[in-house]
Protein backbone atom coordinates (compact mmCIF):
# COMPACT_ATOMS: atom_id res chain seq x y z
CA UNK A 1 0.00 0.00 0.00
CA UNK A 2 1.36 3.40 -0.94
CA UNK A 3 0.69 6.65 0.82
CA UNK A 4 0.10 10.12 -0.56
CA UNK A 5 2.43 11.44 2.13
CA UNK A 6 5.98 12.31 1.17
CA UNK A 7 8.82 11.18 3.45
CA UNK A 8 8.93 14.71 4.89
CA UNK A 9 5.19 14.69 5.52
CA UNK A 10 5.62 11.43 7.41
CA UNK A 11 8.47 12.89 9.44
CA UNK A 12 6.32 15.84 10.50
CA UNK A 13 2.96 14.05 10.94
CA UNK A 14 1.57 14.99 14.39
CA UNK A 15 -0.78 11.99 14.30
CA UNK A 16 2.22 9.66 14.21
CA UNK A 17 5.10 11.71 15.61
CA UNK A 18 8.60 10.65 14.73
CA UNK A 19 10.09 13.84 16.15
CA UNK A 20 9.70 15.37 19.55
CA UNK A 21 8.49 18.93 19.80
CA UNK A 22 12.00 19.87 20.94
CA UNK A 23 13.58 18.31 17.84
CA UNK A 24 11.13 20.20 15.62
CA UNK A 25 12.01 23.45 17.46
CA UNK A 26 15.71 22.84 16.85
CA UNK A 27 15.02 22.41 13.13
CA UNK A 28 12.77 25.49 13.02
CA UNK A 29 15.42 27.58 14.77
CA UNK A 30 18.38 26.57 12.58
CA UNK A 31 20.45 29.57 11.51
CA UNK A 32 23.31 29.92 9.08
CA UNK A 33 26.76 30.32 10.53
CA UNK A 34 27.90 33.95 9.97
CA UNK A 35 31.07 32.75 8.22
CA UNK A 36 29.05 30.64 5.79
CA UNK A 37 26.60 33.48 5.24
CA UNK A 38 29.48 35.86 4.42
CA UNK A 39 30.90 33.33 1.94
CA UNK A 40 27.48 32.90 0.31
CA UNK A 41 27.08 36.69 0.01
CA UNK A 42 30.52 36.96 -1.60
CA UNK A 43 29.77 34.18 -4.08
CA UNK A 44 26.37 35.69 -4.88
CA UNK A 45 28.01 39.03 -5.61
CA UNK A 46 30.62 37.37 -7.84
CA UNK A 47 27.83 35.53 -9.67
CA UNK A 48 25.89 38.77 -10.23
CA UNK A 49 29.04 40.41 -11.60
CA UNK A 50 29.85 37.44 -13.84
CA UNK A 51 33.16 36.91 -12.01
CA UNK A 52 32.49 33.52 -10.43
CA UNK A 53 34.70 30.55 -11.27
CA UNK A 54 33.29 27.16 -12.22
CA UNK A 55 34.34 25.70 -8.85
CA UNK A 56 32.80 28.64 -6.96
CA UNK A 57 29.59 28.26 -8.97
CA UNK A 58 29.40 24.59 -7.99
CA UNK A 59 29.91 25.53 -4.34
CA UNK A 60 27.30 28.30 -4.55
CA UNK A 61 24.73 26.09 -6.29
CA UNK A 62 25.30 23.31 -3.75
CA UNK A 63 24.71 25.72 -0.88
CA UNK A 64 21.61 27.07 -2.59
CA UNK A 65 20.15 23.55 -2.97
CA UNK A 66 20.96 22.72 0.65
CA UNK A 67 19.53 26.04 1.81
CA UNK A 68 16.31 25.32 -0.04
CA UNK A 69 16.04 21.90 1.61
CA UNK A 70 16.66 23.42 5.04
CA UNK A 71 13.98 26.04 4.35
CA UNK A 72 11.49 23.31 3.46
CA UNK A 73 12.38 21.38 6.63
CA UNK A 74 11.96 24.52 8.71
CA UNK A 75 8.57 25.30 7.19
CA UNK A 76 7.40 21.76 7.87
CA UNK A 77 8.78 21.91 11.42
CA UNK A 78 6.91 25.16 12.09
CA UNK A 79 3.67 23.69 10.77
CA UNK A 80 4.27 20.56 12.86
CA UNK A 81 4.74 22.70 16.00
CA UNK A 82 1.59 24.66 15.20
CA UNK A 83 -0.41 21.45 14.81
CA UNK A 84 1.04 20.06 18.05
CA UNK A 85 0.02 23.21 19.88
CA UNK A 86 -3.50 23.03 18.42
CA UNK A 87 -3.91 19.40 19.46
CA UNK A 88 -2.74 20.06 23.04
Residue 17, pLDDT score: 73
Q: Is residue 84 part of a domain?
A: yes
The full length of the chain comes to 88
pLDDT tens profile 18-43: 888 899 999 999 998 999 999 999 99
> Would you say residue 66 lies in a domain?
yes
Residue 50 lies in a domain: yes
Assigned domain for 87 exists = yes
How much is the pLDDT for 1? 42
Please check whether residue 71 lies inside any domain of the structure: yes
Of 9, 70, 12, 67, which is closest to residue 37 (Cα–Cα)?
A: 67
The answer to whether residue 77 sits within a structural domain is yes
Domain count within the chain: 1
- The closest alpha carbon to 77, from 16, 5, 3, 9, belongs to 9
Predicted local distance difference test score (pLDDT) of residue 3: 54
Give the range of the structural domain holding residue 56, as residue numbers without chain letter: 33-88
In a domain, 21, yes or no: no
- Assigned domain for 12 exists: no
pLDDT in tens, 50-88: 999 999 999 999 999 999 999 999 998 999 899 888 887
Amino acid sequence: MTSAFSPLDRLFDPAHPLLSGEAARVIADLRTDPEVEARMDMLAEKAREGQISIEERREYESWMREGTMISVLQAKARLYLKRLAQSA
